Amino acid sequence: MMWFSGGHRGFNQVIWDVRERVEGEFPYITFHYHSFDGEQGFPGDLDVFVTYKIDEDYTFSVTMRAEPRNKPTPINLAQHSYWNLGGHASGTILKNLVQIFGSHITPVDRNLIRPGKSPQLRAPHMTSANQDGCSGIDNGVKKVAVVEEPRSAVFSNCGQPTWGAVLYREFYTSCARKEGHYYEQHSALCLETQDFPDAIHHPNFPNEVYGPNDVYKHYMLYKFSIKK
């Protein structure tokens, strides 16, 4: 069995309960979801918590924590938030400049699974958002990336050390959203820090199986600044 994005009914399609909500100058909210033993084929009961926080100096953080209750289980959570630094109804992100600070890239096969070995980057690896026949950019790198919107803003994404990061461009068809605006193809991008998928089948990959006495943690910090 092979799952992508958590299965047919991933955590993005379930109802979470609010555990804590704090307003004020630096507001935050914490959500919780209990995944039952056998859900989507994964062993053991698992409690998952996600905290979104707005902090000083134009920062926004996401903290994910997962606690297995009774069985070892693989855990590799990612945050699939879409960003367009130009703002609402500002068009595509095709002119954004992206810099990813990684020493390696990890190719994927037709099932979007890493074949195992990570070739080292010995020179800048240029990737165009307008590649012919390209259906996505899914490159595994190390930790930090910076996105610059040429007209207005600079956005840097920093996170707790994970083993990789994925740059993903939005590919869905147009659909009416805020104020009836249609977000066309390539209207946003994602930068997802995560561990290597399919690690349980690759002894050379870091372990991603957590037991009842373990706590999985994943912290992401997004910093924003305005070009002068």
Domain-embedded: residue 2? no
* pLDDT tens, residue by residue, 185-198: 888 888 888 887 77
The total of structural domains in the chain comes to 1
Global pTM reads 0.79
Domain-embedded: residue 51? yes
- Residues of the domain holding 85: 11-226
Q: Kindly report the CATH number assigned to the domain that includes residue 76.
A: 2.70.98.10
Chain centroid offset of residue 139 CA: 12
* Cα separation, 141 vs 143, whole angstroms: 7
Domain-embedded: residue 3? no
Domain-embedded: residue 6? no
Domain-embedded: residue 220? yes
Domain-embedded: residue 71? yes
Which residues partner with 79 through β-bridges?
none
Amino acid at 60: F
* pLDDT tens, residue by residue, 115-172: 655 555 555 554 444 333 333 334 433 456 888 888 776 776 666 656 677 777 765 5
Domain-embedded: residue 208? yes
Domain-embedded: residue 95? yes
